[in-house]
Amino acid sequence: MPLLKIDDLEIEVKNGTTVLEAALENGIDIPYYCYHPALEIVGSCRMCLVQVEGMPKLQVSCNTFVGEVPPERKVDGNFDMVVQTQNDLVIQERKNILEFLLLNHPLDCPVCDQAGECYLQDYSFKFGNAHSRFDEDKRVRPNEYLGSQIVINHNRCILCSRCTRFTREISGTSELFVDERGYSSKIAALEDRPLNNLLAGNVADICPVGALLSTDYVHKNRIWNLQKKSSVCQDCSVGCNIDAFYQKRKIFRLNPRENQDVNGYFMCDIGRYGFHRFEDLERVTRPLFKSNGIFSEISWDTAIEKIGDKFNGAEEKVAGVLSPFHTNETNFMLGRLIKGIIGTFPHIEDEEITYPSGFRISSDRSPNKRGMHDVCPSIVDDLASEINDKEIRVIYILDNEIDKEIDETWNKILTKMDFIVVQAYAMTRLAKSAHLILPGLAPFEREGTITNDQGRVQWLRSVLPNNGESRPDWEILNLLYKTGERFSDINELMKGMGEQFPSYSGMTFFKLGDQGLPLNGNLKT
Amino acid sequence: MATIIKSYEPTFWDKLYIPALVQGLLVTFKHLLRKKVTIQYPEEKLIPPEGYRGLHRLNKDANGRIKCVACDMCSAACPADCIDIIPGSSPWDDGKERYPVSFEIDLLKCIFCGFCEMACPEEAIELTEIYDFSDYTREKLIIDKDGLLDVYDKTKDKNYYSNSQNLTIKE
Ligand code: SF4
Ligand code: SF4
Ligand code: SF4
Ligand code: SF4
Ligand code: FES
């Protein structure tokens, strides 16, 4: 393996590693713009210049590969390459490059949405000049829509070409290109093909400056006001890893989080903007009991008592409806509780989309169908007909998607029921048909594990706090068990689940971490 | 080491008390003849010196529009965390893209340090000479965007306290 020396650090690297990657992996900070680990190298921004011993000029570290050299050419008889990243020449060069980049860049950080997480701002602060020597007028161009959700501010663009490479290499749709040449160059979308693919939101993330903006976040907030929690997208069974940015009780945006085993560096727009549908809902925050068609608030104790009575009265004639939108823990608890039959509603299927880079949006638009089946093997295929056959009159439903319609068959079934319990977070159509509503948590409030369609178990972290008297869904079900059979906390529950289903054994919050784990003995191939 | 303090033993002269009395009265009479330093607040108001840090204002530009671009620099700089801004895209399409939809300062939390004024890249927020803005409820002491722009109108000529209109006592 070649021996590389960067500043004072001596490291062995793999043949063909770039200097930039080697440096970043070892905690040496080299500034860069056009380099992105998921994209082809172009070496166009010149920000990453370093000095390589034996080379006449400074080299772009993102495009300089380290390789083994014959013994007589080794530097100091030992090193295959010696790199300086901090000497005066490099520092001066960085200043110069930044001065070029800032020639036409407006100094509008106060109104720019990237401020606070902008590479240009950071590097200018760290390496740049405090004053500009450019007296001429700056080039000013109006903002343009590249697609329905993406706006470009040409003045801020530094032409790193990350965005055009993204549409060529990752989404494979090639909408973006560099129009014109030299001083007039600018990013543009093909006239007949605007940037409207389902991965478009990512270009705003990978743009190192505030040139590409998602209309969904423009002028909404400042990054330093937001808090970040890592979680998992719940809009399809891929389960992309995300960072949710929120302030108080409101989510402002979702960004993809790197996970090479799931989503790489990106996420799709279905998931990215999906959180909006949980805003401004008519939330259920206390247990509600329907008498004479009107819901009135009751206490948790009374609610639990009422359900207990009905369940005891009905004995085995109780049906449970699981939900692929809920965590493994919640489904496991309901599956174990119901002595009658358990099943689930007909599924939400949509188009399956796969991009040339391998990025996939699953046809199954629920996050946890696989997990649900794993922890409740006794799910029946056709719940509706089973209910009719067995003349079941008591049903316990975990609420599904918020905008789910109730079809004919189910409408008939529900009207025949003596007692319907719906565990819901909002007044959905389903909740309105209930006799008793128990307030659970909304998707971004939930916590627990979900299993994606590749069999990777990931920890869903709650982002927002609970609302009113609502409780975690598994905890509500826990209350319905006899005192001796309850779990004291979610760890105990996961242990219990692991005992019953060995592929889930040994999983804990800490083990799953923020990258998840493949199911035991069921590894992704 | 302990210090021993001797108690003061008054002399005969001290015990007469009359000289001390006269001395004191002398000071009183001297001040009777001098110029008064107190003022008849609130009928009369003190005009604070230049640079006094009182109530905030939000400045307007030449078109009479709010100068603030809702960049949140002031609220980030504020040590009391009392500035609350909701930004939005501006309704004007000639240049300025961003403006505050709502801008609130909790005057009870504010420590009048002036950091917000220093942090502002647009010279949009300023502290004025107004010092008497007490009120009866906490809610009324959260000043909003309109209130802050109103303060600008009242103070832009720098004659807030010499303007007799502002001398009337608040209800
Ligand atoms: S818009 Fe952003 S990503 Fe695209 S070239 Fe310009 S700076 Fe780079
Ligand atoms: S692919 Fe699925 S999981 Fe990933 S971001 Fe899109 S909707 Fe969410
Ligand atoms: S004067 Fe100081 S405490 Fe008051 S709002 Fe400004 S920064 Fe905050
Ligand atoms: S710093 Fe100035 S421009 Fe920015 S939000 Fe505060 S008042 Fe407005
Ligand atoms: S990062 Fe190396 S040239 Fe742009």
Instruction: Please report the DSSP string for A22-63 in residue order.
Output: HHHHTT-----SS--TTS-----S-TTEEEETT-SS-EEGGG
* Res. A275: pLDDT tops 50: yes
**Res A76: pLDDT:** 87
Q: Identify the contact set of chain B against chain A, taking CB-CB distances under 8 A.
A: 69-73, 75-76, 87-89, 96-98, 121-122
Where exactly does CATH 3.30.70.20 map onto chain A? 134-225
Judged by CB atoms closer than 8 Å, whether chains meet at B76 and A219 is answered as: no
- Tell me the one-letter amino acid at A225: N
Q: d(Cα A358, Cα A385) in Å, to the nearest integer?
A: 40
Amino acid found at A311: F
Residue type, B41: Y
What is the number of the ligand 2 atom nearest to the C-alpha of A238?
Answer: 3
What is the enclosing helix (H) or strand (E) of A236? none
- Asked if the model's pLDDT at residue A12 lies above 90, the reply is yes
Nearest residue on chain B to A223, alpha-carbon basis? B72
Separation CA B42–CA B37 (nearest Å): 15
pLDDT reported for residue B93: 82
pLDDT at A523: 41
Determine whether the interchain pair A115/B71 forms a contact, defined as Cβ–Cβ distance below 8 Å.
Answer: yes
**Percent of chain A whose predicted confidence (pLDDT) is above 90:** 80
B158: pLDDT confidence band, cut at 50, 70 and 90?
confident
- Chain A CB contacts of B98 below 8 Å: 111, 219
Q: Is the CB of B125 under 6 A from ligand 4?
A: yes
Residue B2 binned pLDDT confidence (cut-offs 50, 70, 90): confident
Of chain B, the percentage scoring pLDDT greater than 90 comes to: 63
The predicted-structure confidence for B26-46, as pLDDT tens digits, reads as follows: 999 999 989 888 888 888 888
Nearest ligand by distance to the CA of A263: 2
Q: Which two tokens stand for residue A334?
A: 């309901």
Q: Does the structure show a pLDDT above 50 at A345?
A: yes
Decide: B66 in ligand 4 pocket, CB within 6 A: no
Report the distance separating Cα B158 and Cα B130, nearest Å. Answer: 10
Angle at A457 between CA A454 and CA A462, to 5 degrees: 130
Is A225 within 8 Å of chain B by CB? yes
Query: Is residue A240 lining ligand 2, measured as CB closer than 6 Å?
Result: yes
* A109, A111, A113, A216: best to mutate for the B interface, most B CBs within 10 A: A111
Q: Is B123 in the pocket of ligand 4 (CB under 6 A)?
A: no
Q: Is the pLDDT of residue A70 over 60?
A: yes
Asked whether the beta carbons of residue B97 and residue A111 sit closer than 8 angstroms, the reply is yes
- Mean pLDDT confidence for A350-379: 93
Give the model confidence (pLDDT) of A168-216 as tens digits.
Answer: 999 999 999 999 998 899 999 999 999 999 999 999 999 999 999 999 9
SS3 category, A374: helix
User: CB pairs below 8 Å between A and B: how many?
Assistant: 30
Residues of A in contact with B69 (CB under 8 A): 110-111
Alpha helices in A106-234 (DSSP H): 119-127, 162-165, 201-206
Whether residue A315 is predicted with pLDDT greater than 90 in this model: the reply is no
Average pLDDT of the residues of chain A: 92
Q: Does A92 touch chain B (CB under 8 A)?
A: no
Q: What is the distance in A from the centroid of ligand 3 to the CA of B61?
A: 22
Q: What is the mean pLDDT of residues B67-95?
A: 93
| Residue in chain A lying closest to B71 (CA) | A110
Residue to mutate (ligand 3; options B109, B112, B131; most atoms within 8 A of CB): B112
Class of residue B99 by CB neighbours under 10 A (exposed 0-12, middle 13-18, buried 19+) = buried
Chain-centre distance of CA A80, in angstroms? 41
| Tally of CA atoms within 13 A in the half-sphere of A11 that contains its CB | 20
- Report how far ligand 2's centroid is from the alpha carbon of A213 (Å): 20
**Candidate from A46-55, A203-212, A501-510 with smallest mean pLDDT:** A501-510
CA distances from B2 to B5, B8 (A): 9, 18
Is the C-beta atom of A367 inside 6 A of ligand 2?
A: no
**In terms of C-beta density within 10 A (0-12 exposed, 13-18 middle, 19 or more buried), how is residue A91 classed?**
exposed
Give the mean pLDDT of A236-260: 95
Q: What is the predicted pLDDT for the residue at A148?
A: 94
Q: What confidence tier does B171 reach under pLDDT thresholds 50, 70, 90?
A: very low
Confidence label for B79 from pLDDT (cuts 50, 70 and 90): very high
Paired tokens of A390: 């067995």
- Å from B113 to nearest chain A CA? 21
The answer to whether the CB of A457 is under 6 A from ligand 1 is no
* CB of residue B142 inside a 6 A radius of ligand 3: no
Q: Please judge whether A110 and B73 are an interchain contact, meaning their C-beta atoms are less than 8 angstroms apart.
A: yes
Residue B133: count of CB within 10 angstroms of its CB: 14
CA–CA gap between residue A213 and residue A152 (Å, rounded): 6
Say which CATH class A134-225 falls into.
alpha beta
* pLDDT band at residue A353 using 50, 70 and 90 as cut-offs: very high
User: Shortest CB distance from A219 goes to which of B76, B89, B121?
Assistant: B89
Q: What percent of chain A has pLDDT over 70?
A: 99
- Specify the pLDDT at position A16: 92
Q: Is pLDDT of A424 > 90?
A: yes
Residue nearest to atom 2 of ligand 3 (CA): B113
User: Any residues with CB less than 8 A from the CB of A162 and at least 6 apart, and which?
Assistant: A33, A34, A36, A39, A203, A206, A207, A208
In this complex, do A222 and B76 lie within 8 Å of one another by their Cβ atoms? yes
Residues in chain A: 525
The shortest CB-CB distance from B89 to any of A218, A222, A224 is to A218
Query: Chain B: nearest CA to A128, how far in angstroms?
Result: 19
pLDDT reported for residue A313? 87
Identity of the amino acid at A34: C
Question: Least CB-CB distance to B69: which of A111, A218, A221?
Answer: A111
Name the CATH topology of A288-518: Rossmann fold (3.40.50)
Q: pLDDT-based confidence at A362, cuts 50/70/90? A: very high
Least confident of A389-393, A416-420, B3-7, B73-77: B3-7
In 3D space, the residue among A13, A47, A55 whose CA is nearest the CA of residue A30 turns out to be A47
Least confident among A24-38, A249-263, A506-520? A506-520
Chain B interface mutation, best of A219, A221, A225, A252, highest count of B Cβ atoms under 10 Å: A219
CB proximity A219 to B under 8 Å: yes
B58 in helix, strand or coil? strand
Query: What pLDDT sits at residue B160?
Result: 86
Residue A433 CA, chain-centre distance (Å), reads 33
CB contact under 8 A, A111 and B88: no
The answer to whether the Cα torsion of A165, A166, A171, A174 is positive or negative is negative
Which chain A residues are Cβ-neighbours of B72 within 8 angstroms?
A: 222, 224-225
Kindly report the nearest CA distance between residue B129 and chain A, in angstroms: 27
Residue B170 pLDDT level (bands cut at 50, 70, 90)? very low
The chain B residue lying nearest A217, using CA atoms, is B88
Q: List every span in chain A annotated with CATH 3.40.50.740.
A: 288-518
pLDDT at A524 over 50: no
The residue with greater pLDDT, B7 or A263, is: A263
For A429-474, what is each residue's pLDDT tens digit?
A: 899 999 999 999 999 999 999 999 999 999 999 999 998 899 999 9
Q: How confident is the model at residue B12 (pLDDT cuts 50, 70, 90)?
A: confident
The mean per-residue pLDDT over the stretch B137-154 comes to: 95
Fold annotation for B44-168: Alpha-Beta Plaits (3.30.70)
Query: CB of A183 within 8 Å of any CB in chain B?
Result: no
pLDDT confidence of residue A499:
92
- Chain B within 8 Å of A247 (Cβ-Cβ)? no
The pLDDT, as a whole number, for residue A522 is: 47
CATH topology (fold) of A3-98: Ubiquitin-like (UB roll) (3.10.20)
Residue by residue, DSSP assigns A288-357 as EEEETTEEEE--HHHHHHHHHHHHHHHTT-EEEEE-TTS-HHHHHHHHHH-SSEEEEPPP-B---EE-TT
Name the segment(s) of chain A with CATH classification 3.10.20.740: 3-98
Q: How much is the pTM?
A: 0.90
Residue B167, pLDDT above cutoff 60: no
pLDDT band of A232, cuts 50, 70, 90: very high
Report the separation in Å between the CA atom of A360 and the middle of ligand 2, taken as the mean of its atom positions: 8
Q: Model confidence over A118-165: pLDDT tens digits?
A: 999 999 999 988 788 888 899 999 999 999 999 999 999 999 999 999
- At residue A18, does pLDDT exceed 80? yes
pLDDT computed for residue B94 by the predictor: 79
Ligand number with the minimum distance to the CA of B59: 4
Q: What is the pLDDT of residues B87-99, one digit of tens each?
A: 999 998 876 889 9
CA of A143 to the centre of ligand 1 (A): 13
- ∠ CA A39-A44-A47 to the nearest 5 degrees? 100
Q: How far apart are the first and last CA of chain B?
A: 61
